[in-house]
A and B are shown apart, each in its own frame.
Chain A
Amino acid sequence: METALETIGLVKRFGGLLASNEVSLKVGQGEIRGLIGPNGAGKTTLVNLVTGVYRPDLGDIRLAGASLLGLGMHEIARRGLLRTFQVTRLFGGLTVRENLMTAFLARRHHASGGDALAQTARMLEITTLGPVADLPAKKLSGGQRAILQIACGFMIPGHCYVLDEPFAGINPVIKDAIIDLIEDVNRRHGATFLVVSHEMAVIRRLCPQVTVMMEGRVAAQGTLDEVARLPEVITGYLGKALE
């Protein structure tokens, strides 16, 4: 399997805190990988390093073999490595429709307005956000915001998605809708996913392989059931063995 996303010995230090301690991982093309670990393990730091929010002190990040070092956030997005945030970053004052349009035109601004409108209409239908299409995004519920944020990333299929806690605090119906969207984009476009989540049920359903981070480093990798049996994962994260 070809490697879609690879990090090589990523080091990031914030003052005295070693937030990322030589993190190396490979996510295969078309894989949906889970990224789990206790709070403060460095998961979000890794997401921010990979997507250009932070520059690593050492190490390299590669998307389909090409280094992303030194690229700005927007350049990384244009190469098709897209992300969502734990706290949604929508354009609160713009309508749902305008949020989707912005996501489309940001990466394809030579497209005709008609293309953008057609894809927006399609996405509104898939996400069932149609009835709220002309409301400002800040009026949406938490779940609606989460699905809108993901839908923005799917307006133009990317190569690789890094989703930071896409299921936190969301009702089961919308959770299912988001899982369906992820699986659909994965199946039809072969997109790769790295999904940060604490929800073991979702991770089990979505991710054949998981990577466990603890204290800024990769602690384990394997299927969820394999890593859940490891004593250090149980004591350091899960607390008790999964049923």
Chain B
Amino acid sequence: MYSTELFVQTFISGVMIGVLYALMALGITFIYSIMRMINWAMGEFYMVGSYLQYMLVVGLLGTDLWWLAIPMSVAGVFVMGIVVQWGLLKPVFTRPPESRDDYATVVTLALLLFLRSVATGLAGPYQFTPGSNLPVIMVGPMPLAGARVAAFLFALAALGLFYVLLRYTWYGLALRATAQSRVGVQTAGIDVLAVDRIAFGIGVALAGLAGALLAPVFLVYPTNGLITTMKGFEIVVIGGLGSIPGALVAGLLLGLIESFGAAFIDSSYQNVYGFILVLAILALRPSGLFGERGREA
């Protein structure tokens, strides 16, 4: 019963979902590394991404043009992130830094409740699906759901784009420098609040992308960001807060552990396996796989 085929299929589905989890974790960790704050409303940006995708596919473009709806949804969430940074977070960041994370926590938690309420108010507590007419893809003898494969490929492309942006552009250099020292970039002449704006936009756009890509798989409803956000934070704990390689490696690890746990132990405990890993990491290496030791609170 434990055949090679099952093993390979489990591995592939673990990697495929792991990359999508990594998108969420990357968004959380990226915003943290630049702004030194946790965006607790990450799941709601995921949710908005999934609603935008649903509305674009069902209301405007049709199922065949789902791939065109993806960048549009992501762009929508990016713009929303920029507006949120400008309207809600920038005022917090122009004050002295002492209790900045406390304010940012309150602001983003309020945003979480607000966005869920808006979604419920406008569309009701129902589940929607944009549907998918992508065929099942056979890898050897193994069937893979087309929507999942497409989501995986899109996520890979987005990660590649993110890497190129960070590594080879002037914006990327400014972002990486800001992650190293916020005072340093200001002294050099960079407007750190403008960097925050871009960073927050990109960070939530990663969540929006995950939401749009997973809309046909995990459905669209007001609290659909909850599970993926939880996974995102699990990954951040495993990989180390503020570490981009940590988010990627831990995302894959979580996807694989869930997938193998579900296939070889018991699928009803799928969401528990990750927590076991989190507990193990907290016990053995509290700063995470790639985290810096002794970070100040």
A and B together in one complex: yes
**Which residues of A pack against B, CB within 8 Å?**
51, 53, 72-75, 77-78, 82-83, 85, 89-94, 98-99, 101-103, 105-107, 109, 113, 152
A106 touching B180 in the complex, CB below 8 Å, given contacts A101-B173, A113-B170: no
Pairwise interchain contact A106-B185, C-beta atoms closer than 8 A: yes
Interface bits B174-207 vs A (CB < 8 Å: 1, else 0): 1011011101111111111000000000000000
Interface residues in B63-79 (C-beta closer than 8 Å to A)? none
Partner of A73, one of B170, B179, B181, B186: B186
Q: For B184, what are the chain A residues with a Cβ–Cβ distance below 8 Å? A: 89-91
Pairwise interchain contact B188-A94, C-beta atoms closer than 8 A: no
A51 touching B173 in the complex, CB below 8 Å, given contacts A89-B181, A93-B180: no
Pairwise interchain contact A102-B174, C-beta atoms closer than 8 A: yes
Interface size class of B (residues with CB under 8 A): 10 to 19
Pairwise interchain contact B191-A105, C-beta atoms closer than 8 A: no
Pairwise interchain contact A106-B176, C-beta atoms closer than 8 A: no
Pairwise interchain contact A91-B191, C-beta atoms closer than 8 A: no
Q: Name the CB-closest residue of A to B193.
A: A72
**Which residues of B pack against A, CB within 8 Å?**
170, 173-174, 176-177, 179-181, 183-192
A74 touching B191 in the complex, CB below 8 Å, given contacts A90-B181, A105-B170: yes
The smallest C-beta distance from B172 to any residue of chain A, in angstroms, reads 10
The smallest C-beta distance from A158 to any residue of chain B, in angstroms, reads 10
Q: For B191, what are the chain A residues with a Cβ–Cβ distance below 8 Å? A: 72, 74-75
Q: For B173, what are the chain A residues with a Cβ–Cβ distance below 8 Å? A: 94, 98, 101-102, 105
Pairwise interchain contact A72-B186, C-beta atoms closer than 8 A: yes
Instruction: Give A63 to B261 CA distance when docked, in angstroms.
Output: 66
Q: For B183, what are the chain A residues with a Cβ–Cβ distance below 8 Å? A: 53, 73, 89
Partner of B177, one of A51, A72, A77, A102: A102
The smallest C-beta distance from B246 to any residue of chain A, in angstroms, reads 14
30 contacts between A and B (CB under 8 A): A51-B187, A72-B186, A74-B186, A74-B187, A74-B188, A74-B190, A74-B192, A75-B191, A77-B188, A82-B187, A83-B187, A89-B181, A89-B183, A89-B187, A90-B181, A91-B176, A91-B181, A91-B184, A92-B181, A93-B176, A94-B173, A98-B177, A102-B173, A102-B174, A102-B188, A102-B190, A106-B185, A106-B188, A106-B190, A152-B188
Q: For B176, what are the chain A residues with a Cβ–Cβ distance below 8 Å? A: 91, 93-94, 98
Pairwise interchain contact A105-B174, C-beta atoms closer than 8 A: yes
Q: For B187, what are the chain A residues with a Cβ–Cβ distance below 8 Å? A: 51, 73-74, 77, 82-83, 85, 89
Pairwise interchain contact B181-A106, C-beta atoms closer than 8 A: no
The smallest C-beta distance from A50 to any residue of chain B, in angstroms, reads 12
Q: Name the CB-closest residue of B to A110.
A: B170
Q: Name the CB-closest residue of A to B189.
A: A77
Q: A91-B180, A101-B173 are in contact. List 12 more A-B contacts (CB 8 A).
A: A74-B187, A74-B192, A89-B183, A94-B173, A94-B176, A94-B177, A99-B177, A102-B185, A102-B190, A106-B174, A106-B185, A152-B188
Q: Name the CB-closest residue of B to A113.
A: B170
Pairwise interchain contact A103-B188, C-beta atoms closer than 8 A: yes
Q: For A85, what are the chain B residues with a Cβ–Cβ distance below 8 Å? A: 187
Instruction: Give A54 to B173 CA distance when docked, in angstroms.
Output: 27
Interface centre among B174, B184, B187 (most CB of A within 10 A): B187
Instruction: Give A85 to B187 CA distance when docked, in angstroms.
Output: 10
The smallest C-beta distance from A79 to any residue of chain B, in angstroms, reads 9
Interface centre among A74, A93, A99 (most CB of B within 10 A): A74
The smallest C-beta distance from B220 to any residue of chain A, in angstroms, reads 39
The smallest C-beta distance from A51 to any residue of chain B, in angstroms, reads 7
Q: Name the CB-closest residue of B to A99.
A: B177
Q: Name the CB-closest residue of A to B171.
A: A109
Pairwise interchain contact B170-A94, C-beta atoms closer than 8 A: no
Instruction: Give A16 to B263 CA distance when docked, in angstroms.
Output: 67
Q: For B180, what are the chain A residues with a Cβ–Cβ distance below 8 Å? A: 90-94
